[in-house]
Amino acid sequence: MENHFDKRLDPTKLVPGARSVISLQYNYFPEKTQIPDTYLISKYAYGEDYHHVIKDKLYSLLNFIQEEIGAVDARVFTDSAPVLERIWAKRGGLGWIGKNNLLITKQKGSFYFLAEIILDLELEYDQELTTDHCGKCSKCIDACPTEAILPDRIIDGSKCISYFTIELKDEIPKEMKGKFNHRIFGCDICQDVCPWNRFSLPHTEPKFEPHPDLLQMTKKDWEEITDEIFKRIFKKSAVKRVKLHGLQRNVLFVKDEFC
């Protein structure tokens, strides 16, 4: 993000002549979750990789716009380029930035992927939501086991469980031992405790449905996972990012939390 800061601030550097940003949300909150007392992965990774699922829908919407209006220069994005997704969504009136630095939508919560179409078409713009509905609530800050959520809506990415279990390629620092709350891929803790997510409703996207075996996997299943099982259960999942050896590293790191 530091390398492309100018593109984050100026959409015309991504789409020359850009006049508008269309911000969208796509629900991924699951109807069912993993069994109790097992290793946990983030809910967004239950089904197929959202990058592919959402981009297909964005291209369909863009094709519709071009069929209705004519030639439009545009690009689609979903966590795939230096785009200020939460800021554009906030400016478009979709919600506010919570203390956990996620976009929260009143009566919908935060279990949503964000996506954008940047295009050279001037549109009638929505109004920004200026009210902060977090109030004095600090549940997300208090619940974060690694103290990654700082005041003033700042996240210390170097302390986030998602960073350690997905992005970090080296060994996980020993001082983090016992702080992952059984998490082996990503983290939903700050969302799970957010009062606004009591309004979350199950998604209706078939491609986000988990493999039938995933939700029933026990600790023993995770500890003994083979390459064959990994490829079968996570064939199209974002979990493939860490590969089997990365997932095994994470399982070994959090194994003692059950003792």
Catalytic residues: 79
Rounded distance, CA 117 to CA 93, Å? Answer: 16
d(CA 186, CA 167): 10
Q: Please provide the size of the chain in residues.
A: 259
Name the region of 43 (left: φ>0; alpha: ψ -120 to 50; beta: rest).
alpha
Task: Give the three-state DSSP class for 114.
Answer: strand
Residue 77, C-beta contacts closer than 8 angstroms, at least 6 positions apart: 14, 58, 83, 85, 115, 116, 117, 118
Report, in this order, helix, strand and coil percent for the chain, each rounded to 5: 40, 15, 45
Contacts of 110 (CB under 8 A, 6+ apart): 95, 98, 100, 102, 103, 104, 191, 194, 196, 197
Selection from 255, 258, 218, 225 nearest residue 243 by Cα = 225
97 is written with which tokens?
A: 């930035």
The DSSP-derived string for 85-99 is HHHHHHHTTS-EE-T
